[in-house]
Structure 1
Amino acid sequence: MKLLTAAQLDATLAHTRQIGVSNIDYDKCSQELIDHGYSILTIPVHLQKDFWKTVELYPTISGTSKREFAYPDRTDGFMPFGMEYANSTNNVDLCERFCYRDKYRSDHRQHAFADHQFYRHIVDFESGISAIAELVLANIMQKFSIAEPLETRSSSYLQFCAYNKEYRKQDREYLQDRHEDGHLITFVKATRDGLVIFPNGEQQRVILADDEIIVFTGSLLTEMSDKRIPYMDHAVLNPAVQVERSSLVYFVIPELKRKYTSFIERRHLDLEKIANENHESFGNIPFTVTAEA
């Protein structure tokens, strides 16, 4: 299979990023997020294909690639198992993690793993889901009469989670304990049921069709909206029997090196500080080096 050059890949991504994204009802989605904290969307066919290809190809990745393509200090590449945990219980997430951040794509090209088909499909999926995320947030901003666009792609990241059977523990209720992500919004697409959300504090199973993805809110958006928009707690259930489960999760985070004011009360917000503290509370390295560091 002939590999695309970096320039050809960039041109292809710029084109495919917009395919099918206009078919989503963003007005409905944004209103559901504001009122209920979650919404279910139909995603374009090419993103569905990218998702299933990542699931198919993940087992083909060598241990050497997992060791070498690892940058945990910037939440990028293959992350150490057990590094991330629930900030409410300190129980580690029972999954392997691969994180992709578009801001580091030029750095990735120096590594042979950037030619692996798993990586290529990850890049394609991020390209499309980030475009959808931008339009969802633009519609939310519009409903609060905020004209200034919210830049997110350079700070956001896509995460592949592999809940392998050997990581399951019988004494755990969840593979990933109840929490909220501390971001703006989060998109989740999984190979099987297991994700639960907690609207109004009540546990509710998430059932998605093959062409659907769920998006829910985080506390950064709650803070920006002066608590008008609720954040959504969620968790991943521990299945009764050992089964494999994989998911793609897109965490949407605002550009952290600029100043923000809240939507309604126009309060000054230090989102860099809040986002770093949230990220670190799960065992991760802060996104940015703050002035106090």
Structure 2
Amino acid sequence: MTQTLAHDPVITKAAGDILDRGYAVVKLGDIDAGNLRNAISTAVRFFQRPLEDKKQHGSADHNYGYRPFGIEYSRVPERPDMNECFTLWSSRLDLIPNAAGVADVTDAFRDWRDSLAPIVKAILDEVAKNFGTAAAPEFEKASYLQINYCLPAPAERDLLQDKHEDGHMVTVLHATAPGLEIYHEGEESGEVRPMLPAADEVVIMPGSVLTALSGGKIAPLYHQVRNHGLDDRQSIMYFVNPEIDEPLFGWIENGDGERADIREHVQNAPSMFGLPPVEAL
């Protein structure tokens, strides 16, 4: 599959959409869509376990495995995201406490990641070529899958997640029910649009790391999640970060003819949301 993606019209269109309108929607093949469905349904069964059981599969810093409600936020700690999470970084099962007890979840997540990674690489490589760069940075060791399991929210809480950008290279997202809204024309202005991918689609949303790589040419896609009072909503994301074990330079020279090393931005972006730094695992 990876051999043919470079010339796939779906890949070419997705890269063009990111460059031209600031995001892309990609339709999946049958096998990949099946892996997506399996990852979501397997995770939902995990979230239905008792809380004390789930907590046995979360790291002390809340970065690996189960993350309970109240840790992650989009704007301020006083308004936590109205969901609990499960995350898998790279393939590092050793970082998830008692990982054998959630093997069904991690196996399903890795299958879904294996569907996504070649698609993401092909799209990002195509984007990079538009800036005179042969390929985008490697990312698999510094990227992670996360599923958000939405919790009942009080009616006065209008947003399940406040307006934010994710701070990654791109986020690949699928949601099972309405709520996601995108700011199409940038952070402070522009039309707010509901965005619900079909059952076999994902949305690819640029983050500020791609903005830094592109010298500001590709803006981060700001978004939020509205509270529609639903009791069955999940969103699953692949947060794509460049590996930073070596200097990582932007694709465009700055005013003095140099290219900025953006590793510090990559590593510290999660602090916006109360999370630990990015590592290459």
- Fold-level similarity (TM above 0.5): yes
1:264-279 alignment to 2 at 5 Å? 264-265=252-253, 267-279=258-270
Gaps of 5+ in 2: none
Name the counterpart of 1:257.
245
Name the counterpart of 1:135.
122
SS of equivalent to 1:258: coil
Go from structure 1 to structure 2 and tell me whether the alpha carbon gap of 1:72 and 1:110 turns closer, same or farther (over 3 Å shift).
closer
Q: 1:87 deviation in Å? A: 2.8
The code of the aligned residue for 1:139 comes to E
- Aligned identity (percent) is 25
1:114-153 alignment to 2 at 5 Å? 114-116=102-104, 118-153=105-140
Tell me if the contact between 1:74 and 1:287 (Cα under 8 Å) persists in the aligned partners.
no
Name the counterpart of 1:177.
162
Aligned residues: 269
Q: 1:209 deviation in Å? A: 1.9
Give the TM-score normalised by the residue count of structure 2. Answer: 0.86
Tell me if the contact between 1:95 and 1:163 (Cα under 8 Å) persists in the aligned partners.
yes
Q: Deviations over 1:181-213 (max 9, x none)?
A: 111111110111211100112200113222111
Name the counterpart of 2:175.
190
Q: 1:72 deviation in Å? A: 5.3
1:76-225 alignment to 2 at 5 Å? 76-87=64-75, 90-105=78-93, 111-116=99-104, 118-165=105-152, 168-200=153-185, 201-225=190-214
Tell me if the contact between 1:103 and 1:155 (Cα under 8 Å) persists in the aligned partners.
no
The code of the aligned residue for 1:255 comes to E
Name the counterpart of 1:43.
28
Q: 1:114 deviation in Å? A: 4.6
Distance 1:272 1:186 in 2: 18
The answer to whether residue 227 in structure 2 is matched with residue 238 in structure 1 is yes
Q: 1:278 deviation in Å? A: 1.6
CA RMSD of aligned residues (A): 2.5
SS of equivalent to 1:281: helix
Distance 1:126 1:19 in 2: 18
The code of the aligned residue for 2:197 comes to L
Name the counterpart of 1:281.
272
Go from structure 1 to structure 2 and tell me whether the alpha carbon gap of 1:145 and 1:212 turns closer, same or farther (over 3 Å shift).
same
Distance 2:41 2:135 in 1: 40
Distance 1:191 1:121 in 2: 17
Go from structure 1 to structure 2 and tell me whether the alpha carbon gap of 1:178 and 1:32 turns closer, same or farther (over 3 Å shift).
same
Tell me if the contact between 2:59 and 2:96 (Cα under 8 Å) persists in the aligned partners.
no
Greater shift after overlay, 68-77 or 206-215?
68-77
Identify the structure with the greater helix proportion.
1
Q: 1:78 deviation in Å? A: 0.6
Q: 1:88 deviation in Å? A: 6.0
